[in-house]
Amino acid sequence: MFTALEDYLEHRYTETQVWGKDTTVADLEDAFEHFQEHNRYHPDDIVYMLELGGFKLVDRLSYRNDRFVRLVVEK
């Protein structure tokens, strides 16, 4: 079953805990490590992380049912 990274983070942490100014690198490493132990990253998760980093999705091409994806982003 596919669990989106965004849903996982919102369920496990409050928004202020994950993305707040008091969040440590260790907190983020823990969150992403535990997600990866039980889930695979989906292209939507990559887009989510890019958008959090301030990038805008320009184009997305999927191949083989999203097993491979080409993302074009701009900042």
The model's pLDDT over 29-39, given as tens digits with 9 standing for 90+, comes to: 888 888 888 88
pLDDT given at position 16: 59
Average pLDDT over every residue of 58-72: 92
Please state the φ and ψ torsions of residue 62, each to the nearest 5 degrees.
-110, 145
Residue with tokens 């496990």: 12
Paired with 61 in beta bridges are: 70
What percentage of the chain exceeds 90 in pLDDT? 36
- For residues 44 and 57, the answer to whether their CB atoms sit within 8 Å is no
- For residues 48 and 24, the answer to whether their CB atoms sit within 8 Å is no
Q: DSSP H helical segments within 1-75, as ranges?
A: 5-12, 15-19, 25-38, 43-52
Instruction: Give the CA radius of gyration of the chain.
Output: 13
